[in-house]
Structures are given as C-alpha cells and as structure tokens.
Structure 1
C-alpha cells in the first residue's frame, strides 16, 4: 500500500541551504538597511606603493579579496572596512575573477584574478594583512563572521600585524 507524502512534513535542511539562510539573515542588519549607498574600497593598483603607504603609518596593508555580488563582502565593506579606510587605514580591494591589472609585490604586472589564485584564496570575503616584503603578518580572515564578532576579530588581526612589523 502506498502512503501519501504529508504536506506538513518538516523540510530536510542541507548544510548549504542552512548556511545560505543564516548568511542572508545576518546580512540584513539595521546598519545595512540604513546606509542608503554601497560602500566601496579602492581597487588595488600597485601593491608596492600601497604597502609603502601602510608601512609609513606603521600599519599592515589590508587587502580584501572580494567577489562581485557577494553579500558578505558588501557587509564587511559597509560595516567595518570603508569606515576604517576613511579614517586613514590603508585598505585595498582585489576582485576575484576580474582581469583588472595590478602590480604585485615583486613589481610584475598581473591581474586581480591571478593574485587571488597565487594567494590561494577560494572564499570571499578574505582579508589578508601584509607587511615588509609583501609577507603576510597576521592570520587571514576568511569568510563571514557573526556581525557582533567581525570587528573584534579584525582588530585582533591588525594588532597582530602591527606587532609583526
């Protein structure tokens, strides 16, 4: 005898579906809703020059690897990175899957996409913290964090990077 499928069975949630739903709900914060405009960061053009500016301020260079349409990237830019950049922290963006030209730390012309592959970045947003010689001086921040903890984790990495300088 065939039993009919109940229309009121609870859904089976797969990990990907759960992460997507949680991520979308986390990004729908009041700060995002009140902002009005999209926050932007300058695109990386010359990593040696950008690193020199950061080191002059006794700070690591922060590079955000982003992906067009990434809601987590937009949230990180809007809530944390753009305000920091406006106060003088040197932060640039490298866009995954974009062929925009950029000078790498060795002074060679490459593209944003080639840099992300060279750095083995596979998730966005990823924040990298660079010091002298283009070496990473703090642990990477990969992916989205809970909004309440993103700022403290970011500050922790910046302090770690400063100590390594």
Structure 2
C-alpha cells in the first residue's frame, strides 16, 4: 500500500512540476537593432510594431512570449522584445539614437513586466498597452483586441 501511495505521489509531483520546469527556461523574441527600422518594415505591411517589455526569469513574460507572441510572429506579426535590465546591447530608438532596452523601457514608462506596446512607424502608440497578465484565460482575447485596435488606427492614418 505504501508503494502505491509513493508512486501516486511521484506521478502527481511530476505532473505538477513539469510545467514549472518547462517554463523555467526563457524562450526569446528577437531584440530589434533599430526600432525605427523594425517599425518601418511593419508599417510597410500595414502592421503595427508589437514590442514586449520583458524581464529575464519572469514567468508571465514567458507565458506571453511562448503562448501568444512567438506563434503570432511565425504567422507574420512584427513582434520584438526588449529587456528592462539590459544596458549592454545597443538598440536604436525611433529617432535613430543609440539606446538600450533598459533606457527605452524607462522612456516608455514600462516599468512592470510583461508590458506589450503597439507602435506606428513614427513611434506613436496605436492601442492601449497590455500591462501584466490579469487572467491567462483571457489574455489571448485582450491581445487580439489590442492588435485589432492598432491595425484600425494604422488604417485611419
């Protein structure tokens, strides 16, 4: 009887811990070398530039990346990420000035992660940003709505 109980415990522990272990390693969206160039390419396709402000090790950032933005990027969405702690890598801003992920996140007042921003080619926010993950069950709908609003704003320009 004890063996059966231990076995059930091991199976249950494995089932519970597997998703946590799977989420422990961050996946990544590419970091743009230039927001100006990335947004120009998106604008040429009548699409917004979608920018994830992320933090290494943030499980909610990983959820947004893995479940939503990476699959959407594979379908053609112009999705990128910057890291709020990254001061080492150069990212050129919308005006072509050298910056970093940390400085850009501060300029965008994106101090909470994950934050998803939607930009025009000129660097104007097109839709309300998504800050945090209030409900994983509804996040996909919130993201789809924000992308639709950003696309509509581009069409109105």
**d(CA) in 2 for partners of 1:132, 1:47:** 9
How is 1:78-97 mapped onto 2 (pairs within 5 angstroms)? 78-97=66-85
Please tell me whether the aligned partners of residues 31 and 79 of structure 1 are also in contact (alpha carbons under 8 angstroms).
no
- Distance in 1 (alpha carbons) for counterparts of 2:72 and 2:20: 16
> What TM-score do the two structures reach when normalised by structure 2?
0.80
- Alpha-carbon deviation of 1:44? 2.0
The Cα of 1:34 is off from its aligned counterpart by 7.2
Distance in 1, matches of 2:72 and 2:52, equals: 13
The one of 104, 120, 124 aligned to 1:131: 120
Matched, 1:152 2:132: no
How far apart in 2 are the matches of 1:32 and 1:59? 34
Deviation at 1:35, TM superposition (A): 8.2
**Alpha-carbon deviation of 1:39?**
3.0
1:140 equivalent among 129, 132, 136 = 129
8 Å Cα contact 1:32-1:78 kept in structure 2: no
Unaligned stretches of 5+ residues in structure 1 = 1-27
Native 8 Å contact 1:48 1:105 kept in 2: yes
Give, in whole Å, the separation in 1 of the partners of 2:26 and 2:53: 17
- Say which of 23, 40, 49 aligns to 2:37: 49
Task: For structure 2, list consecutive stretches of 5 or more residues without a partner in the other structure.
Answer: 1-15
Cα deviation, residue 55, structure 1: 1.0
Q: Does 1:60 align with 2:48?
A: yes
2:102 corresponds in structure 1 to: 113
Q: Which has the higher helix share?
A: 2
Cα-to-partner distance string for 1:98-144 (whole Å, 9 max, x where unaligned): 11210000000011100011111110000000013100000000011
